[in-house]
Amino acid sequence: MSEDKNQQARDSLAAWRAHRPADYLQADTNFQHVLHMYLGEDYQRHQPLLSKAASLSAGSMDGLAISSNRDENLPRLSRFDGIGERTEKVVFHTDYHQLGAYVWDTGVLAVLAEPGNELLSGALAYFIAHNGEAGHACPVACTAGLIKLLQRVGTATQQQEYLPRLFETDYAKRLHAAQFVTEVQGGSDVGMNSCVAVPDAQRKGLYRISGEKWFCSVIDAGMFVMMARPEGASAGTQGLGLFLVPRTVNGKVNNFNIRRLKYKLGTRSMASAEVDFTAALAEPIGPLDAGFKNLVSIVLDTSRVHNAVATCGLMRRACLEAQAYARHRLAFGKPIIEHLTVAQILARMKVVSSVAVATTFRILATTDRLESGESSRDARAARRTHVNINKYWTSIQCTRVIRDAIEVLGGNGTIEEFSVLPRLYRDAIVLESWEGTHNTLCAQVLRDFVTRDLHRPWLDEMRELLATITHHSLEAQRSCAARLLDEVTADIERLLTSDADYASLHIRHVVDRMCVFNGYLSLLRELDWELGRQLESGKASMLELFRRLYIERTDPLDDADMPELLREVSTIDE
């Protein structure tokens, strides 16, 4: 009898694994609607490319990501070749490279050659991130940052020389990028950076960079985007310039030494290092006196959006794993999804991950409109705030969602070889710190509000978005959003009329409220679009649950409708 029960349990686990989708796009009705809403008629044109990425991610990429993240297969440093020549080479497992070939073949970077394809590129990156960072999501983000940098401030010569290789879909021929900013004494205080750039004595217009960089992710990249202070430049961020540093010059290592590879909590198959530069050849990218401005507004901006896209992919994968497991795992005579305590966790995961997609892909759609000249200067200013608060909120929620998924799987959820969740959890924690810690992002939002009045275009855009909600059935939701907008506006004004210490202490609380409002309104906008086309995705129920959990904070003891609402949301997309 016990053997029969054991086999029954294993059969249910096998059924759970078999339940995994073969195409992440076809399994995601909500995301299909989001893409259709923003892409319009182009959705059908891009669908083959999207389905290719979604299928590769659900199939071939999955096993390769697992293999290349095993301890014995992590990257290692090989500093010299057989005759003692310095190579500073990073050696990866063969599965890492095969996975990279699939990632680049999706066209996630190639589509950026055509303006107005930010959302399409983001959708491809979203599917890739269903396997976590997997060693390649960060290189993709960094390479996208260099593409944007060259497109906006690069010289014609730089664009002609580098962009074709950056758009390459053949992994073996690609040029991929890294961005090295952090120094051991600086961290988020970039103005403390001490790497120095001096003019090259033989080559006019080129420089030699010397100094130490403390956290150099994608250390295997062929091109480094680096911050350094030109000799004699002023202190602080205003004196920093932005440079392109090739990995090799005339086939030789470009005067840098890798001290060691970082042994990280997450994103472990992507190589990060500590590096010393000793007169490395570099060329300026953009005006040197605009180095920090271009770093923040182009490079970090791109990475922060990619960071948010990655969290969306991680959260969606966690939802898929946990929901399918709960449907097949039996406890106390029924599938655990039928236990309300489990349904509550799944419903919360589903709502938060859908909100993250709503806010993140609204940013990408805004970027496309800006690049196509369809939006105003105020929209660009509002977008800056959106990017910063969204990176902050999505990264926090990602860790929580994956932790919830692990709870649904119980002890099994902590086992590396049982599911992808432990690796996703480690990656999620890294995503919280990448491209700006929570305090750094909140401080930037406050600084932008105080010095540039950027709260005004952000609030104006939210008012305009609220005015687009017109479906007759959504009046109560519109009223809720209007009340939230008034409250957030009052919170911001209160901060800006207080002393600096008070504002600094409380900005994170205000950003939290901004994020909740932004999430609610973004989801409401999608629901309005779906109702206008008589589409069904369960979004009305998700919006209602989000309101009760994060806005009204309804006491569950007084909410008789909550059990049925949880059951409904927990089973969406089954």
User: Going residue by residue through the chain (574 aa), what tens digit of pLDDT does each one get?
Assistant: 566 778 888 988 888 898 899 999 999 999 999 999 999 999 999 999 999 999 999 999 999 999 999 999 999 999 999 999 999 999 999 999 999 999 999 999 999 999 999 999 999 999 999 999 999 999 999 999 999 999 999 999 999 999 999 999 999 999 999 999 999 987 788 888 999 999 999 999 999 999 999 999 999 999 999 999 999 999 999 999 999 999 999 999 999 999 999 999 999 999 999 999 999 999 999 999 999 999 999 999 999 999 999 999 999 999 999 999 999 999 999 999 999 999 999 999 999 999 999 999 999 999 999 998 877 889 999 999 999 999 999 999 999 999 999 999 999 999 999 999 999 999 999 999 999 999 999 999 999 999 999 999 999 999 999 999 999 999 999 999 999 999 999 999 999 999 999 999 999 999 999 999 999 999 999 999 999 999 988 999 999 999 999 999 878 788 999 999 999 999 998 6
pLDDT at 236: 93
Domains plus CATH for the chain? 177-289 (2.40.110.20), 439-560 (no CATH)
Buried b (16+ CB within 10 A) or exposed e, 186-220: bebebeebebbbeeeeeeeeebbbbbbbbbbbbbb
For the four alpha carbons of 401, 141, 88 and 215, in that order, the dihedral sign comes to negative
Is this structure's pTM higher than 0.95?
yes
Tokens of 484: 């939230």
Find the Cα–Cα–Cα–Cα dihedral 266, 272, 274, 275, rounded to 10°.
-170
Q: DSSP letter at 205?
A: T
Which residues are within 8 A (CB) of 281 and not within 5 positions of it... i.e. 6 or more apart? 200, 203, 206, 207, 208, 245, 246, 249, 254, 255
Please state the φ and ψ torsions of residue 394, each to the nearest 5 degrees.
-65, -35
CA pair distance 60, 62, nearest whole angstrom: 6
DSSP-derived pairing of the beta strands 223-230 and 196-199: parallel
Buried b (16+ CB within 10 A) or exposed e, 383-398: bbbbbbbbbbbbbbbb
CA pair distance 433, 440, nearest whole angstrom: 10
CA pair distance 421, 409, nearest whole angstrom: 9
Tokens of 363: 């940013």
Give the position of tokens 């687009």: 468
DSSP-derived pairing of the beta strands 196-199 and 330-331: unpaired
Residues paired with 229 in a beta bridge: 196
H or E stretch including 138?
A: helix 137-153
CA pair distance 538, 571, nearest whole angstrom: 9
